[in-house]
Amino acid sequence: MATAATARGPAAPGGVPPVRRKGVAGTRRWVAAVFLLPALVLLGALVVYPIGYTVRRSLFDKAGSGFVGLANYGSVFSDDSTLTALRNTAVWVVVAPVLATALGLVFAVLTERVSWGTAFKLVVFMPMAISMLAAGIIFRLVFEQDPARGAANAVVVGVHDTFAGSSAYPGARPRPGGDLAASGGGSYTTRQAARDGTAVALPLIGIPAAKLPAGTGDARQAAPGPGVTGTVWLDFTPGGGGNAGAVDSGEKALEGVRVEAVKDGRVVASATSGADGTFALPASADGARLRLPASNFAQPYNGIDWLGPALVTPAIIGAYLWMWAGFAMVLIAAGLAGVPRELMEAARIDGANEWQVFRRITVPLLAPVLVVVVVTLMINVMKIFDLVYIIAPSTSQDDANVLALQLFLSSFGGGNNQGVGSAIGVVLLLLVVPVMVFNIRRLRREARR
């Protein structure tokens, strides 16, 4: 009959029974495996299996039944839309994390010593509570071209109109067959030269009567007099009738129109029409042709085409910064709280100014935190999708395309080619892996310290 000691195995030298091996944390390996099993199953089902299936699917055709090898990857790197997406993704990875981290650093440092710094940080961080979908809708409205709807262009147009006057009658034009004719650059010039002591008629059309300024008076036929006189008016009789090119009863004057007398390509005199549409030029205008410059008819300034092909990507990056600068600020502020104040005070006592303290002490001590923020945001922007899909209009979505959006469009958004979509997913994974490896190594180095 075996003894209890025999059941535990052969005795060690000195008669002491061996001790069962345990893990590093003092737990038996099979117990640790039982507790880790649910997590491993979920990890395999939600991460490992999808990655493996995506790699396998990228080797098959559109239907998923024919093996095509690396042909889908060849399509990825030869398709113009995908190459544009790859280029834009590179711009996102380089620009967005750096700007967000820089803004977060500035916000964290500047608000450290003010009494309302906490309230400011709360306001800056608040956009993080908004989903990408909601932020995309907000900034789609902010970047609307129409200044009456888009906040960005409302500000731009307001500033522009403060320093540059708008045209008097945008869209106005002369009646076809009249003496006025287009003379380039949006201006109109008479075919016949004006003579001293004559009255010139300068009728215009193309202005809805409802668009005229409030209080516009009736036009009056200018009387001949010394110099060159004339009338600028809207050649349209309410209710119909009237004679083309003649000032009829009820026709409206066009006040504030600039009239220039041009002789040999040089402006020799100018005048502005009055409340009744009449103007008067001096005798030096004799023999000159009368020109209505384009400044009278230019369309009003409509702001910047934020969502056009040239600016759509910077505009969307701006929306991203609005959301994620608060995230960077909070992390950097937490790191800043752990910076030894003695070093800063010693530097100030030694004569360093605030910029030198910031550049030589604050930034180097915050370097580990800054790296964490940049790396986290780099991984985040590689999979950016929502903002681009919602903010970019259909006319410029190709110019704002990124890899995650191209993956969706190729697989489900009309392309219906999940082979190419899977290949794009694999490429995106390969781009993320180096950043993840760098982050893991950095964390291990910090753990060994």
> Cα separation of 314 and 318, whole Å?
6
pLDDT at 170 over 90: no
Mean pLDDT of the chain: 87
Residues 294-320 pLDDT 10s: 888 877 788 899 999 999 999 999 999
Angle at 140 between CA 83 and CA 309, to 5 degrees: 35
The answer to whether residues 218 and 251 touch, using CB atoms and an 8 Å cutoff, is: yes
> What's the residue count for the chain?
449
> Cα separation of 194 and 177, whole Å?
18
Q: Which residues contact 206 (CB under 8 A, 6 or more apart)?
A: 171, 172, 173
Q: Which residues pair with 174 in a beta bridge?
A: 204
Residues 332-387 pLDDT 10s: 999 888 888 888 888 888 888 888 888 888 889 998 899 999 999 999 999 899 99
Quickly tell me which residue has 């010394």 as its tokens: 226
For residue 217, the 8-state DSSP code is -
DSSP helix/strand/coil, 204 = strand
Angle at 19 between CA 17 and CA 22, to 5 degrees: 175
pLDDT at 109 over 80: yes
**Which of 10-19, 225-234, 315-324 is most confident?**
315-324
Confidence (pLDDT) at 441: 85
DSSP helix/strand/coil, 66 = coil
pLDDT band at 6 (very low <50, low <70, confident <90, very high): very low
pLDDT at 12 over 60: no
The answer to whether residues 127 and 323 touch, using CB atoms and an 8 Å cutoff, is: yes
Residues 40-94 pLDDT 10s: 999 999 999 999 999 999 999 888 888 999 999 998 888 898 999 999 999 999 9
Confidence (pLDDT) at 388: 94
Measured CA to CA in angstroms, residue 356 lies from 196, 279, 348, 363, 366 at distances of 74, 65, 9, 10, 15
193 φ/ψ angles, rounded to the nearest 5 degrees:
-75, 145
Residues 134-150: what's their mean pLDDT?
92
Least confident of 96-100, 226-230, 439-443: 439-443
Enter the pTM of the model: 0.75
Confidence (pLDDT) at 13: 54
Residues 269-287: what's their mean pLDDT?
92
Measured CA to CA in angstroms, residue 330 lies from 173, 276, 290, 337 at distances of 58, 64, 66, 11
- Closest by alpha carbon to 124, among 107, 102, 143, 112? 107
Tokens of 238: 């309410």
DSSP H or E segment with residue 174: strand 173-174
pLDDT at 410 over 50: yes
DSSP H or E segment with residue 430: helix 418-448
For residue 8, the 8-state DSSP code is T
Quickly tell me which residue has 């403060």 as its tokens: 162
Residues 27-41 pLDDT 10s: 688 888 888 899 999
> Cα separation of 401 and 91, whole Å?
11
